[in-house]
Amino acid sequence: MNCRRLKKPKKHHDWLELRKKGLTGTDIAAIAGESPYESALSVYANKLSMLPPKAENEAMAVGTFMEDPITSLWLKRNPDAKVRKVPYVLQHQDHDWMLGNIDRHIIAPSEGVLEIKCVGPNAMRGWGSEDEPKIPTQYHLQVMWYLMVCGLRDCRIAALLGGTQLIERVVTYDKEMAEAIMEISHQFWFDHIKKGVPPAIDDSQATTTALSGMFANPQERELVIPNLSPWLQRYDVVTAKIKELEKEKEGITNNLKAMIGDQCVVASCLDRSVSWKPTTTNRFDTKTFKTDYPALYERYTKPTTSRRLLVK
């Protein structure tokens, strides 16, 4: 590998701090708008410590735990291959802001990267089939970044689908794709991160979450925003459309209920069906509990604070 090696911290918090010194493979998909988990704004906010450190969740822990067994399965299918763990954060030889954390370094029969993925049932479609193999765009961008950082040409992705099926996908260095990635990443790092200028706001849930975290402690004062009017006008137009569509949806729902009548399930055309079944839900009676057991209610009531956007 033609890159620098930075010692990987043992503590998760210290590892996150090191990642703030540059862009990593998972950041690239977010910057390109291809990540289901992060956005350009959430990456920006995390790099500048505007959000609290992310704790390792269960999915991350499972993914880390499964790296060894998935690697072993892959090696059984590729008996001539030799791999080794990389206890470093890798850094591009010339661009110190380009970082990478690869799962395994393939050292034989030819040098490359081995990326391990543990894929849940809901994400299996993105990998295609053996006849029509696919790679989710976010992972394609991720491993291409690793090849750029390491100065390598080939990556093997070993993905365990649904816990039962091991597949392999191959990614080869693509100059045109690498140049495009380099352009957007360079612009993001130097025009946004280094200058402290937030990227454009998008409609992703990751951006919604990031904004709530970035501005969790507002000041009690009025602010005059000169260019607010166009956004409010568009907000009103979209809100009216949503109400109109919700009304139309309710009419369709009522027609479906009328056609079903006193049946629970009615088969429809093609492979679809419509059901209208009785459901029973047990709800905790907070009001009665507060009246009967006021002390316990106060003991187990935990106040939470959030910001709500109101447009008048």
pLDDT computed for residue 306 by the predictor: 84
What DSSP character marks residue 20? T
3-state helix, strand, coil in the chain (%, to 5): 45, 20, 40
| Closest CA relative to residue 181, chosen from 4, 283, 30 | 30
Domains of the chain, by residue range, sit at 3-214, 222-279
Mean pLDDT of 216-242: 91
pLDDT for 15 equals: 79
Question: What is the three-class DSSP state of 90?
Answer: strand
Looking at residues 7-12, what average pLDDT do you find? 83
Q: For position 58, what pLDDT does the model report?
A: 86
**CA atoms within a 13 Å half-sphere pointing along the CA-CB vector of 71:** 20
Q: Could you tell me which residue, 60 or 117, shows the higher pLDDT? A: 117
Q: What is the mean pLDDT of residues 241-255?
A: 96
Please say if the pLDDT value at position 63 is more than 90. no
Give the C-alpha separation, 65 to 86, whole Å.
Answer: 16
d(CA 129, CA 199): 36
Confidence band, pLDDT 50/70/90 cuts, at residue 303: confident
Tell me the pLDDT band of 269, cut-offs 50, 70 and 90: low
Q: Tell whether the model's pLDDT for residue 64 goes beyond 90.
A: no
Distances (CA, A) of 150 to 38, 145, 164, 182: 24, 9, 31, 14
Q: What are the beta bridge partners of residue 3?
A: 92
| Residue 56, pLDDT above cutoff 80 | no
| pLDDT, averaged across the chain | 92
User: So what's the pLDDT on residue 102?
Assistant: 96
Minimum mean pLDDT range among 34-38, 53-57, 115-119, 302-306: 53-57
Q: What pLDDT, on the 0 to 100 scale, is given for residue 10? A: 80
Asked if residues 1 and 152 have their Cβ atoms less than 8 Å apart, the reply is: yes
pLDDT tier at 57 (50, 70, 90 boundaries)?
confident
Architecture category of domain 3-214 in CATH: Alpha-Beta Complex (3.90)
The set of residues, in sequence order, having a beta carbon less than 8 Å from that of 2 and lying 6+ positions away, is 93, 150, 151, 152
188: nearest Cα among 23, 2, 71: 23
4 has a pLDDT exceeding 80: yes
- Residue 267 confidence class, pLDDT cut points 50, 70, 90: low
Q: Cβ contacts of residue 243 below 8 Å, gap of 6+?
A: none
- Over residues 220-236, the mean pLDDT reads 90
3-state secondary structure of 47: helix
Q: Are 22 and 91 in contact (CB under 8 A)?
A: yes
The pLDDT tens digits for 271-281 are: 778 888 888 99
**pLDDT tops 80 at residue 46:** yes
Share of residues in the chain with pLDDT > 90 (%): 72
10 Å CB burial of residue 298 (0-12, 13-18, 19+) is: exposed
Give pTM, 2 decimals: 0.85
The mean per-residue pLDDT over the stretch 184-209 comes to: 97
Window from 163-172, 237-246, 268-277, 287-296 with minimum mean pLDDT: 268-277
